[in-house]
Structure 1
Amino acid sequence: MPADLAVIGLGHLGLPLAQAAVTAGIDTVGYDTDPRPHTELRAGRTPVEGTLTASEIRRLLSGGFRTTTSAAELGRVRTAVICSPTPLGPDRALDLTALGDAARALAARLRPHTTVLLESAVPPGTTEDFLRPLLEEGSGLVAGRDFHLACSPSRLDPGNRTHHYANTPKVIGGLTPACTESAAAFYGRLTDKVVRARGPREAEMTKVLETNFRHVNIALVNEMAVLCHDLGVDLWDVIRCAETKPFGFQPFRPGPGVGGHGVPVDPGCLPRTTRTPGPPLRMVSLAQEINDRMPSYVIQRCATLLNEHGKSVRGARVLLLGVTYKPDSADQEAAPAREIATRLMDMGAQIGYHDPHVPDWRVRERPVPRADSLYEAAAAADLTVLLQQHRTYDLQGLAVKAQLLLDTRGATPAGAAHRL
């Protein structure tokens, strides 16, 4: 049976889109060549941690959502949204392999008057210079004349209870004004507000600006954290005071590293210009360097704290609390906990962990012991390190029970623990 919408890619972008579409009454099919998402969804489980809950999946399926591995389904829809993953490659450029595969599968079945939308995180120019040629060559159709093509970068914030799909404005940039309006008509059914960009490149660059804004400001407070510790200044009190300024300031907070799916677009994948000396976005390169150093700084603080209390890292029992990249979420994408655990293991520490959202955690393919009783584990550990602030953690109680507590999130009461 034909559907109105095909969501291509059933990952952290595609599933929330499918949920929003089904909620809006749009007949939706999900396409993915990987059999795992289909198996997990049909069993009522989420294939990607941190996206949909079991109850949300049940509602999604009962609302008529179905999945397929057959590309033939793509030729029977009015709208196709590509949500393929674009992970960082070894050169820190975004890997467009999955996007290219999705485009070729769609192109072979593309019909006239279809609206094709791109939500994947991509470098500016991808919609026009990468996706468009694949669609046109594979279909024999012309974008902007025979079918609509637009980019609308995802703005998801997993676990955010305030801002969700319906009340988060959607930026769209079409190849032509008609493409933009076709995209606006679709997204207008899912969200309260649609923001029209001048074109696909402006929409793509909006994602670059938003992500790197976060990245650069986190790097600033991470540097401030190191400086304030050296000077004996309470950075969290500084931030508390600074955020009372009603203009010209937005609070960011330091942490053990930057994780998540919204990776900063590396300057190396942006086009060079003759008007700007040196590589583009040099500030982003520096921010990347600073944020990449934070796990090492956490290790340094761990070693110093243990040494100050007459213990060595080698042989020390270290308990890591919260191994996900966001609080109150099971998503571990790019979370710094794994790197921190790996380095502590290399130094000879005995690592354990606790996370209410992660029942099993592996580092270097080896299982890490999970603490059943949080307080007992903290009391037995030589050092407890808070890496993620889940709401279920009673931090005041932990500070009392733990022999030594390093708080990398500034979440404990002042004076109750050693802060980053």
Structure 2
Amino acid sequence: MNICVVALGKIGLPLAVQFAAKGHRVIGADVNEKVVELVNAGTEPFPGEFDLDRLLKETVGAGLLTATTDTAAAVAESDAVVVVVPLFVDSEGVPDFGWMDAATKAIAAGLKPGTLVSYETTLPVGTTRDRWAPMLAEGSGLTPGEDFHLVFSPERVLTGRVFADLRRYPKLVGGIDEASARRGVEFYEAVLDFDERADLPRPNGVWDLGTSEASEMAKLAETTYRDVNIGLANQFARFADKTGIDVKKVIEACNSQPYSHIHQPGIAVGGHCIPIYPRMYLWNDPEATVVRSAREANAAMPSYAVDLLAAAYGDLAGVNVLVLGAAYRGGVKETAFSGVYGTVEALKERGAVPFVSDPMYTAQELTAHGLPPHNGEQVTAAILQADHAEYRELAAADLPDVRVLVDGRRTTDPARWEGVRRVVIGG
């Protein structure tokens, strides 16, 4: 097949490489000229994605993957179009469709009869049928479901392990009609490989959920579940702090039974998915009080971590505090909705002087993200925000003036922090 992947970001580019590695001819379309230039040179535009550099060089070198800024022209050459353009929401969860609208209009301009269009960007329920289908029809003059096929098929991968996740998890597809769904299933069966899993209710592979709305809801539901679960764990942890209970032992005990799957508490829930998609679900379903409460509970955790620091240290006014980790999770160079921002703001509200360090970021990069870099200033307190592997080896000797450490991820080794008051959430 000839395939167009629209948006070559941290999900789109691995998808394009995956399709090309299966022998299909892929054109990646992106508005960023620098990304297009790097991809055409076989150079990875962002670090940290396992196996991407090797596979990118192989597929570009074989002439199976090219990139362009002309989306309409790329679509005109393609049998299938996969859309992974970012969708942003504001603090209230209201979607900003600007980038996706622009991409959809460009796709419509190049759309030809017989093409499959698959949206993988997480969307509010009903968007594929009610927004994209009319927009594609208006811009192309073609009839959805008759002249071209349209499906929603959510990405279900984590950055850093995209290729492994593509094999591990079933690919969900929902069409605006039965013919679109069949075409979507056939497409993904031709471009993906799947590991066999015995723990699934039906064989791994491509699962037709019946409608685009069901597929849209499935993605929102699975990510919202995680946010609600973490919110519950955080509530348990805060109660444990009040009562002198080690919540980690409690959760381990609960999860020894197959009916309990309590997640781990922590300082923050970050990234492009879990903090955002529950808000998107609430936009669809404002009566979902459980979802709203969990989101509020998780959003409050950076401030709670600073409260723990103040309780252990005392007045924080004028105190230099080092925040360890800018990334939203360990091993990933990404600050999207990271807890670092809430932590820094909460420290400032208490009069502290925050600094940030991260083994994956230079001081210049931290500054560019609006974060105050640590350049050797004396610090007497620290908060661990990201669970980078490097922090497992961190010791009191590395921060000799620190009196109190709040480990928001239970990452540090207690034995390495003798002489320092080490505080964990729920502990």
Is 1:418 paired with 2:423?
yes
2:233 and 2:43 map into 1 onto residues whose CA distance is: 38
Q: Tell me what 1:146 maps to.
A: 147
Please give the residue correspondences for 1:166-315 in structure 2 after superposition, counting only pairs within 5 Å: 166-188=167-189, 189-192=191-194, 193-245=205-257, 247-262=258-273, 263-266=276-279, 267-270=281-284, 279-307=286-314, 312-315=315-318
Match in the other structure for 1:369: 373
Q: Give the Cα separation in 1 of the matches to 2:177 and 2:306.
A: 52
CA drift at 1:345? 3.4
Note closer, same or farther for the CA distance 1:351–1:173 as it changes in structure 2 (3 Å cut).
same
Cα distance in 2, alignment partners of residues 45 and 344 from structure 1: 40
User: Which piece of structure 1 moves more, 183-192 or 149-158?
Assistant: 183-192
Alignment of 1:2-401 (within 5 A): 4-41=2-39, 46-47=44-45, 50-51=48-49, 54-55=53-54, 57-64=56-63, 65-70=65-70, 71-160=72-161, 163-188=164-189, 189-192=191-194, 193-245=205-257, 247-262=258-273, 263-266=276-279, 267-270=281-284, 279-307=286-314, 312-360=315-363, 361-362=365-366, 368-370=372-374, 380-395=378-393, 397-398=395-396
The one-letter code matched in structure 1 to 2:390 is: T
Task: Look up the equivalent residue of 2:288 and give its one-letter code.
Answer: L
Cα distance change, pair 265–191 in 1 and its aligned pair in 2 (3 A): farther
Structure 1 runs of 4+ aligned residues shifted over 6 Å read: none
Q: 1:42-84: per-residue Cα shift (whole Å, max 9, x none)? A: 5666545655655554345334322111122211100001111
Describe the SS at the equivalent of 1:385.
strand
Structure 1's unaligned 5+ residue stretches are 272-278
AA aligned opposite 2:389? R
Secondary structure at the counterpart of residue 277 of structure 2 = coil
Secondary structure, in 3 states, of the residue corresponding to 1:318? strand
Secondary structure, aligned partner of 2:317:
coil
Closer, same or farther in 2 for the Cα pair 1:244/1:396, shift >3 Å?
farther
Whether the 8 Å CA contact 1:313–1:347 is kept in 2: the answer is yes
Structure-1 separation of matches of 2:243 and 2:406: 18
- Does the residue aligned with 1:221 lie in a helix, a strand or coil? helix
Q: Give the structure 1 partner of residue 200 of structure 2.
A: none
Q: Within 2, Cα distance between the matches of 1:90 and 1:293? A: 14
Equivalent residue, structure 2, for 1:274: none
Counterpart amino acid of 2:229?
N
Asked whether the 8 Å contact 2:49–2:161 carries over to 1, the reply is no
Task: Give how far 1:260 is off.
Answer: 1.1
User: In percent, how many aligned pairs have the same letter?
Assistant: 28
C-alpha displacement of 1:418: 1.0
Residues 392 and 413, structure 2, Cα contact 8 Å, conserved in 1: no
Structure 1 residue 128 displacement after superposition: 0.3
Counterpart contact for 1:40–1:47, Cα < 8 Å: yes
- Alpha-carbon distance in 2 for matches of 1:50, 1:34: 20
The answer as to whether partners of 1:338 and 1:363 remain within 8 angstroms in 2 is no
TM-score, normalised on structure 2?
0.86
Q: Structure 1 length as normaliser, TM-score?
A: 0.87
Give CA deviations for 1:213-259 in whole Å, capped at 9, x if unaligned. Answer: 001001001111111111111111212222222x1111311111111
Distance 1:19 1:220 in 2: 38
| Distance 1:63-1:392 versus aligned 2 partners, 3 A rule | farther
Q: Decide whether the 8 Å contact of 1:321 with 1:354 is kept in 2.
A: yes
Question: Match for 2:177: what amino acid?
Answer: T
State whether residues 266 and 409 of structure 2, in contact with CA within 8 Å, keep that contact through their aligned partners in structure 1.
yes
Alignment length (residue pairs): 400
CA distance in 2, matches of 1:348, 1:54: 44
The change in CA–CA distance for 1:155 and 1:384 in structure 2 (over 3 A counts) is same
- Corresponding residue number in structure 1 for 2:199: none
Q: Is the 8 A contact 1:84 1:99 kept in 2?
A: yes
The 8 Å contact of residues 13 and 120 in structure 1, kept in 2 or not, is answered as: no
* Alpha-carbon distance in 2 for matches of 1:343, 1:243: 33
